[in-house]
Every structure is written in structure tokens, then in C-alpha cells.
A and B are shown apart, each in its own frame.
Chain A
Amino acid sequence: MKKLSLLVAASLIALSAAAYAESDEPLPPRKMSWAFDGVLGTVDKPAAQRGFQIYKEVCSACHSLNRIAFRNLTDLGFSEAEVKALAATYDIQDGPNDDGAMYTRPGKPSDYFPAPYPNENAARSVNHGAAPPDLSLIIKARNGGGNYVYSLLTGFATPPSDVHLADNQYYNPYIAGHRLAMPPPLTDSRVTYTDGTNATLDQEARDVVNFLQWAAEPEMEARKEMGIKALIFLAIFTVFMYIAKRNIWRKLH
């Protein structure tokens, strides 16, 4: 039974994929369930740490993460010493010094992640005309958020016969136009996880989404925690006001 339903689901996906292949409309992202979903959703720290490892070893070759400082990583459960050690592995340009010269020095926790390219034109020229976007806000800047990023990362496929790709283009039904300048960045065992997790494509994509979700909304846990308190307070306030209203108006009738 389970096999049958899987088969049906798979053929439905294949059918809808075929239907979408005819237009340039992006395929709707796959609906995944995430630790950060919902009112009680939180950051899955181990997953986000693994996602950070992928950002560091894979994504950061082309994508900047301009809005995240090394110090922010303590949110993910890294110790201050670890963050300090990590920051020191980066060369950060600083200056001008007293002689007016720019210089590089080891990174400090207060530094921001250095971008892979000095400017957008440089990024464009190295990447066949398509500048890789900054990833700090990517989850909030795309319809479908984490589901979209997951679908895109796992959605590379051989193009249908009627789709012709130019050089340095890759077929991916989840993006508008179905053509992407980014080569498939993740594959099975693309990284060797420091925590020993088996690095399947699915695992890697999930971990990257967990990391990028945190990068886009570092305030999320504080926000939801405050939200629960605020709504409990408001619910009590509202009930009291309703009782007060009933009592005061009762005298009228």
C-alpha cells in the first residue's frame, strides 16, 4: 500500500513536472517539514551547524553572506573560543593604517564574513554573466522560502528533449525559466560532516536550509518566544475585558 501510494505520488510529480516543463513557470516548491516551522518552531542547531559547514566549504566559493558576523555564530551553539578560532582562519582587509596603507589581518569575531568577489561586476564576469546572490536573506527573498531553496538544491535534472540549454546553463524546474547558471552545488558526500552524519544530497540540502533560515531571521526564536508571552497576556486581557464588558452592560437591560 505504501509502495503504491509512493508510486502514485512519484508519477503525479512526474506528470506535473512534465506539464510545467512546457511553460516557463517554476514548479511549486516541495512542501517539507522544518524544525523552524510553526509557532513553536526553533533553530535545529546541529543541522544549522552542518549547514554552516556546507556554506563554508561549498557555497562561500561564489556566494557572499554579507549580513552575518562571525560573532553571530554563537547563536548556533558554537562556543566563543570556537568562533574566535574560526574567525582567525579568515584574512580580513583592514585599514588604512597610520601610513595610509590597507593591510590584511586575521579575522576577529566582530568581523563579517568576507565576500568571495570584490564587487558585483567581478562576480558577474567570473560566473558567465550571472552574479551569485548574497545568501543572508535568500530564504526571505524567495517565494516558498526554505522549501524553495531545498527544492532548487535537490531539483537539478536532465532537461526534457524540448528544452535547449546554452553553455553553462543547467536545467532546474524550480526556477522561473527553468534554466540556472549555477551548476548543481551539492551531491552525495559533497562534504565530510565533522559530526559524522551521513552526507546525502537530501541531508546536505536540508542542513543548508536550516543554516540559511537562521541567517535570514536570526531573531526568530526570540520573536516566537516573545510572541507566545504576548499572546497569552493578550488572551487573558481580552477575556477580562469581555467579562468587564458583560458586567457593565448587564446593568442596562
Chain B
Amino acid sequence: MANKPIEQQPGIKGWIEYRLPIFSFLNNSLGSGYPTPRNLNYWWNFGSIAGICLVMQILTGLFLAMHYTANSGLAFDSVEGIMRNVNYGWLMRYAHAVGASMFFVVVYIHIFRGLYYGSYKAPRELLWWFGIVILLLMMATAFMGYVLPWGQMSFWGATVITNLFSAIPGVGESIVHWLWGGFSVDNPTLNRFYALHFLLPFVIVGVVILHIWALHQHGSNNPLGIDVKTPQDVIPFHPYYTVKDAFGFGVFFLIFGWFVFFAPNSLGDPDNYIPANPMVTPAHIVPEWYFLPFYAILRSMPDIGIPFTSIVFVNSKLAGVIGMFGSIIIFFFLPWIDRSKVRAATFRPVYRVMFWLFLIDCVILGYIGSQPPEGTLITIGRFALTYYFAHFIVLWFISKNEKTLPLPESINKSVLECCAHDHHH
């Protein structure tokens, strides 16, 4: 930090800026003072869209909270009260419920963009870590939010997922009772989930700030995965990316709006319009679509022991829990599992194939998670589960001496070459 004396500029803006440099802060974050690679493609729109999703969830959630009652005897009725008797309550609730799904779609695309272009690699490891923490917080928030309407899927989903902790040897049962605040999912569970569901989004906001802070340290990665070298490689964030993001928002809200207004329940389960009933278990307990791949991993794990004997080291339940959490935790290690110096899959023919296979594997796991675990589906599930983790092991081996394609000299040169035909006239 240079000890240059700061001079107050004239006017109100100058007066404020002299005391709190908010204008230069904004300008350096989202304005013309933030240099951004000039070659970002539309896959880079999903970060800002994820941001607006979070804002939407907090705003709609706030209005829902004003009318919702967190009591096991009243919760379902209060949600229907919002739908029927609160002015535009249906809009708030559908925007919130659909918004959760949209948030996950956007964040999953954002993550896979990072996987494809190697955005997790040095020097962006911490940026990547904050992203994983955000995903974990989102999952916890979404899970607890889904419990709040206190429908059949709310209740039984909460029962299944909280029961996972009983797999922990020795203390599992006590932990589950502690989580429930009793001996089953009941009113205390609902109350604490509500409190946490209100709190966690603000924790997410905090981690998002860290995520953006870490992003601004080295700036965005880009489709070529090469570093910014000269001022010709970058353009100011405003107006170039503000206007591109605004266009992205428009497309996103068209899709979002279509679901909210014309198919608000298409992403949900009809069973959640049946009030929670501890005496009646639904035929198929299925989580929301965005948890299905993880649910498949949870259910696909077999007992782990010595084959062809009855010796079991880890029973399938505990193995499932470890597998499910492990499937996300492993991403923390990805920057070191992947040892290639080249970031973008564009220049990594082998990794590019692996990326697509991994994506397909996640989709298969999602399908398996949506189906009852029967017959060949169990085998397919186990195969997909094995592939999921094998991907990382294979990546560790192949990335060391992976054959890559020659990288372009600079971002600027690559952009000019691609668009050279525009310059002939």
C-alpha cells in the first residue's frame, strides 16, 4: 500500500468516496475498473445467474417467512394459506420452489463449466473450494427448505436423510436423536430446520463474497485456459460483460418464468401435496431431482468386505453415506488430482472424452436415483458409482504425462485470428 495522500474530489460523490471508497470498489468489482478476459463464452454467464438466483431465493423466502408457520400441526395449512389467501402468495411460493431447482441447474452448469475449462487449477484452488462449500450449503438449505411444507415427501425425505447419520458407528443413534430433537422427525425438527433454513442463505452470501473476492484476485479463467498476458487480452467488465450478463438474465428468466407461470409443479413430487402422515409411508421416497445422483450413490453402495466371505468391514449403509459425502468431498482434492498444467479440455483430447463420460455418468446416476432399486438397475447403479470414483483415479494417472495440443500464444491473438474474416473490409 502506497501512502499517497488521498484527495477529496468535489461533489457529494467525492465526499462519500473520500470517507468510504464505495464507488471505486464497485467500479473495480463490476465496473470498468475490473479487467476481464475478452474471450469468455456464454458458459461464463452462469456465475452471475447463480448470484441472481440467490438474491431471488432470499427475497421470495423472506416474504414466505412472513406468512409461514413452523409448526407440525399448522405448516401445511399455512403454505396452502399462502397459495390461496395471501396476495400474490402463489407467485412467491412458486418462484421460491421453482427457483430452488433453477439455482441448482445453474450451479451445476457453472460447476461443469469449471470442470471443462480447468477453472479449479492454480491459482484458483481456493476459489474452487469456496464454490464447493457453497454447493454443500445449498444442499443443506434446499433439503431443510423442502421439509418446511410438511407434506408426505417433506416428512419422509427428512426421515430418510437424517437417519443416514445413524450409520456412524457407536454414536450414530444418539446423533440422530439429537438432530431430531426427539425420537422421530417431529415438531422440534421442523422448528430447527426452519431456523437453519433462514440462516444458511446468509452464510451462503458470506461464502459467495469470499468466492468473488478470490475470483478477483486472478480474474476469470477463460475458454483457452491460458493466463492473461497483456492489456490486449482483457476488456473492462462494464459495459462488455454487464450487458452480456443482462442478456443472459433475460434468457434465464424466460425459462424460469415459463416454469413458474405454466408448469410450477412439474419439478416437484405430487406426494408433497398430501399432508405429512407418520403412519403412511409413500411407495417411493424420492428426493428432489437435484439430489438424485447423490441418492443413487447412497443406495448403490454394497457391503464392503472380503469377497466370497461373510466378512464385512463397512456395511452398505455406512458405505453409502461415506460414498455420498465422498462424491462431493473429492472435488476439494481435484486441483491436485488433475496434474496437467493445461487447463482447458479443448487442448486435452483425453481429458475432454473423460469429461463427457463423467457428465453422462452423473446423468445415469440421476436416473438410477429416480427409480426404485430393483433388478438390473442395481447393477447399473453400482457400475455408474464405480465409474464416478474411477474417473478421479484415472485422471490422476493420465494427467501426469497427458498429451496436449499446442496452446495459443495469447488470448488476444486467438480472438483476432478467429475473427480475422471480419477485418478484410
Residues 208 to 253 of chain A near chain B (Cβ within 8 Å): 216, 218-219, 223-224, 226-228, 230-231, 234-235, 237-238, 241-242, 244-245, 248-249, 252-253
CA distance A242 to B251 in the complex (A): 10
CA distance A234 to B257 in the complex (A): 9
Known: A137-B273, A141-B270, A237-B250. A67 touches B243 (CB 8 A): no
A67 touches B80 (CB 8 A): yes
> Cβ of B313: which chain A residues have Cβ within 8 Å of it?
none
> Cβ of B243: which chain A residues have Cβ within 8 Å of it?
241, 244-245, 248-249
B240 touches A249 (CB 8 A): yes
CA distance A249 to B261 in the complex (A): 33
Residue among A231, A238, A249 with the most chain B CB within 10 A?
A: A238
CA distance A223 to B98 in the complex (A): 14
CA distance A248 to B239 in the complex (A): 7
B250 touches A218 (CB 8 A): no
> Cβ of A226: which chain B residues have Cβ within 8 Å of it?
91, 261
A-B contact pairs, 24 of them (CB 8 A): A39-B262, A137-B273, A143-B270, A216-B273, A219-B83, A219-B90, A223-B261, A223-B264, A226-B91, A226-B261, A227-B260, A227-B261, A227-B262, A228-B261, A230-B261, A231-B257, A241-B246, A244-B247, A245-B247, A249-B244, A252-B38, A252-B235, A253-B419, A253-B423
CA distance A253 to B425 in the complex (A): 12
Residue from the list A136, A219, A227, A242 in contact with B257, Cβ < 8 A: A227
> Cβ of A145: which chain B residues have Cβ within 8 Å of it?
270
Does any Cβ of B come within 8 Å of A142's Cβ?
yes
> Cβ of B265: which chain A residues have Cβ within 8 Å of it?
140
CA distance A244 to B248 in the complex (A): 12
- The 7 lowest CB-CB distance pairs between A and B, nearest first, are A227-B261, A238-B250, A141-B273, A241-B247, A219-B90, A140-B273, A241-B246
- Of all chain A residues, the one with the shortest Cβ separation from B273 is A141
> Cβ of B15: which chain A residues have Cβ within 8 Å of it?
none
CA distance A129 to B91 in the complex (A): 38
Does any Cβ of B come within 8 Å of A176's Cβ?
yes
B258 touches A231 (CB 8 A): yes
Does any Cβ of A come within 8 Å of B347's Cβ?
no
In whole Å, how far is B372's beta carbon from the nearest beta carbon of chain A? 11
> Cβ of B84: which chain A residues have Cβ within 8 Å of it?
67, 218-219
- Of all chain B residues, the one with the shortest Cβ separation from A39 is B262
> Cβ of A241: which chain B residues have Cβ within 8 Å of it?
243, 246-247, 249-250
In whole Å, how far is B209's beta carbon from the nearest beta carbon of chain A? 26
A245 touches B244 (CB 8 A): yes
- Of all chain B residues, the one with the shortest Cβ separation from A140 is B273
Does any Cβ of A come within 8 Å of B105's Cβ?
no
Does any Cβ of A come within 8 Å of B380's Cβ?
no
Per DSSP, chain B at the interface is helix
Chain A: interface residue count, which band? 20 to 34
Known: A245-B244, A252-B38. A141 touches B251 (CB 8 A): no
- Of all chain A residues, the one with the shortest Cβ separation from B80 is A67
CA distance A142 to B419 in the complex (A): 54
- Of all chain A residues, the one with the shortest Cβ separation from B235 is A252
B253 touches A234 (CB 8 A): yes
CA distance A226 to B423 in the complex (A): 46
Does any Cβ of A come within 8 Å of B59's Cβ?
no
Residue from the list A142, A224, A244 in contact with B270, Cβ < 8 A: A142
> Cβ of B90: which chain A residues have Cβ within 8 Å of it?
219, 223
> Cβ of A248: which chain B residues have Cβ within 8 Å of it?
239-240, 243
Does any Cβ of A come within 8 Å of B409's Cβ?
no
B254 touches A231 (CB 8 A): yes
> Cβ of A141: which chain B residues have Cβ within 8 Å of it?
270-271, 273-274
> Cβ of B306: which chain A residues have Cβ within 8 Å of it?
none
In whole Å, how far is B398's beta carbon from the nearest beta carbon of chain A? 37
- Of all chain B residues, the one with the shortest Cβ separation from A219 is B90
CA distance A141 to B271 in the complex (A): 5
Does any Cβ of A come within 8 Å of B283's Cβ?
yes
> Cβ of B258: which chain A residues have Cβ within 8 Å of it?
227, 231
Residues 166 to 202 of chain A near chain B (Cβ within 8 Å): 176
> Cβ of A143: which chain B residues have Cβ within 8 Å of it?
270
CA distance A237 to B249 in the complex (A): 10
A242 touches B271 (CB 8 A): no
In whole Å, how far is B46's beta carbon from the nearest beta carbon of chain A? 16
- Of all chain B residues, the one with the shortest Cβ separation from A228 is B261
Does any Cβ of A come within 8 Å of B422's Cβ?
yes
CA distance A176 to B280 in the complex (A): 15
CA distance A67 to B273 in the complex (A): 13
B273 touches A230 (CB 8 A): no
CA distance A235 to B235 in the complex (A): 28
CA distance A224 to B344 in the complex (A): 43
CA distance A57 to B90 in the complex (A): 30
Bitwise interface map of B from 280 to 309 toward A, beta carbon under 8 Å scored 1, else 0: 000100000000000000000000000000
B254 touches A238 (CB 8 A): yes
Apart from the given pairs A223-B261, A248-B240, A252-B240, 17 other A-B contacts in the complex at a CB distance below 8 Å: A67-B80, A67-B84, A136-B80, A140-B270, A176-B283, A216-B273, A223-B264, A226-B261, A231-B254, A231-B258, A237-B250, A238-B250, A241-B250, A244-B243, A245-B247, A249-B240, A249-B244
In whole Å, how far is B246's beta carbon from the nearest beta carbon of chain A? 5
Bitwise interface map of B from 80 to 103 toward A, beta carbon under 8 Å scored 1, else 0: 100110000011001000000000
